Each structure stands twice: as C-alpha cells, then as structure tokens.
Structure 1
Amino acid sequence: MNKWHKIVGVIAFVVIGICELLLCANTYVDLKYIIEPYDIPDIIDRMYLRADALSASLWLNYFIALFIFICLWRKGGKR
C-alpha cells in the first residue's frame, strides 16, 4: 500500500465516521421533534427500534471496513 493510499484511507475513514455520527444524531433529533409530538407509543417505539438498528448496522459496517483497511495496511507491499 502506497503512502498516498494510506493518507486517503485515513481521511476517508474520518469523513465517513463524522457523517455516521451526524446521521445518527439527526435521526434522533427527527424522532424527538417530528414523531414524538404525536404521542403514539407504538409508532415511537418502532421508530426508535429502527433507528437503533440502523445505527448499529452503520457502525458494524464501519468497523468491518476499518478492520479490512488495517489488514491491508499491515500487509503492505507483500503479495
């Protein structure tokens, strides 16, 4: 892996991580101010469950990609 590959990879993971944090925060803000005022418990529970599942799947995907990137980083130029 070239030096510029490593730099681009690190920058990409930082940007993706920040975007995922903002997506999760925006989801909870939307739930708080758009869904909760209607005060329908079943819908509120389902929306929080889906938001939690989305958040977990985003972070799982992020860490799997990060693990693969680290493995490629360690492998280096060896083939």
Structure 2
Amino acid sequence: MSERVERADEHDRVLGVVDRDEAIGARWLHRVATVVCWDVEGRILVHRRPDDSARFPAHHNWRSTDTPRRGGEVLAVAGGLDGLVE
C-alpha cells in the first residue's frame, strides 16, 4: 500500500481518501503540492531521487512534491510542503 491521498473532483471537492497508487492507476484527480526552486539566474534546482524511492528511483527531478495532510488546507501546503526541509 502506498500513502493515502484525498481524491478530488474537478471543483476540488474531496470525494474520499484513496491509496495514491490507485489514484494514479485510475487517473483520478488527487491533491498534491509541488515546489519548484530556482536561483536569481533562473536556473532550476534538479535533484536525484533516492535509490529506494517508490516512484522513479534514482531518476533526476526538477520538483519536490508532497501530499497535503488529509483535511488540510491545500493552499497552505503549496506555500511550504509539509515534508520540506530547507
């Protein structure tokens, strides 16, 4: 089982809590927040995903993504990912 996420409709109304793998497999809308970091020269930070990551292990990525806590405010999470560490 992967993490639990809030499934949402096209108006961002929560329909229920589902397994993230199920949401991705079924192509359901679900809540996530993404942060993209860049410097003053406009270069985007790229990081290497851990070898043991459940999604795209050892791949390079340009974004950091997290899911809001169930029942949490999506816009608050978008301002700073729950799991982000500076």
Q: Which has the bigger relative contact order, CA under 8 A and spacing at least 6?
A: 1
Greater C-alpha Rg: 1
- Where is the helix percentage greater, Structure 1 or Structure 2? 1
Superposition TM-score, scaled by structure 1 size: 0.21
Superposition TM-score, scaled by structure 2 size: 0.20
